[in-house]
Amino acid sequence: MKVFLIGYMGSGKTSIGKALASQMNIPFVDMDELIEAHTSHSIVEIFETKGEEIFREIEQTVLQTLQNKTEGIIACGGGTPCFFDNMNWMKLNGLTIYLKNTPEQIIQHLKGQIAHRPILQGKSEKELLTFIENHLKERASFYEQAHVELEGGGKLEELIADLLTFLKRVV
């Protein structure tokens, strides 16, 4: 089974994905790492030199290379489900899980990572909160299409235990 973890940046997709994949003894895939390997450029470089539109085209191409993958936990970029027909594609090719967090939780998770997040650079904490609140509203209709919604904010071990229990029931 393929499990696509979706949600806003800083929602825990990578940390939860790695732990979940380890517990299930299946591969973990980070979409950002795949995109960087595919292009030989960092995500920041792609945004800076080619822009978001080209990045989203690359992201869709890389996402669809996972079609023949039989199993794995895939941590998607925060915008992956929101462009082209990516959300429908993921739902047809695996199980989608939305890791839902409040804007305040996201800011806490992102502290120290702003330099690696091109769309967040140069914002004060208040501007950051407003930006994330607005961005979450824009993306909510995509995220909420997921097969499963999991509230964030809990301890990693508890979230993993909840996901493992759920996945054992559906697999």
E strands in 43-115: 72-75, 95-100
Q: What does the pLDDT profile of the chain (171 residues) look like in tens digits? A: 899 999 999 999 999 999 999 999 999 999 999 999 999 999 989 988 999 999 999 999 999 999 999 999 999 999 999 999 999 999 999 999 999 999 999 998 888 787 777 778 888 889 999 999 999 999 999 999 999 999 987 888 998 999 999 888 887
Answer yes or no: is 168 within a domain. no
What pLDDT was estimated at residue 110?
Answer: 87
Given a contact cutoff of 8 angstroms between Cβ atoms, the answer to whether 113 and 10 are in contact is yes
Given a contact cutoff of 8 angstroms between Cβ atoms, the answer to whether 32 and 40 are in contact is no
Instruction: Identify the helix (H) or strand (E) that includes residue 102.
Output: none
Question: Model-level pTM?
Answer: 0.94
**Residue 101, helix vs strand vs coil:** coil
What single letter denotes the amino acid at residue 2?
K
Answer yes or no: is 149 within a domain. yes
Q: What is the pLDDT of residues 120-131, one digit of tens each?
A: 888 888 999 999
CA distances from 28 to 2, 18, 24, 102, 153 (A): 10, 6, 10, 25, 22
Q: What is the CATH number for 157?
A: 3.40.50.300
Answer yes or no: is 169 within a domain. no
Answer yes or no: is 167 within a domain. no
Q: Which residue has the tokens 């795949």?
A: 34
- State how many domains the chain has: 1
What pLDDT was estimated at residue 33?
Answer: 96
Given a contact cutoff of 8 angstroms between Cβ atoms, the answer to whether 75 and 63 are in contact is no
Answer yes or no: is 15 within a domain. yes
What pLDDT was estimated at residue 127?
Answer: 92
CA pair distance 49, 76, nearest whole angstrom: 22
Instruction: Identify the helix (H) or strand (E) that includes residue 128.
Output: helix 125-143
Answer yes or no: is 114 within a domain. yes
What pLDDT was estimated at residue 152?
Answer: 83
Q: Which two tokens stand for residue 152?
A: 């964030």
Range of the domain at 124: 2-162
Answer yes or no: is 138 within a domain. yes
What pLDDT was estimated at residue 168?
Answer: 86
CA distances from 143 to 49, 78, 82 (A): 28, 9, 8
Answer yes or no: is 21 within a domain. yes
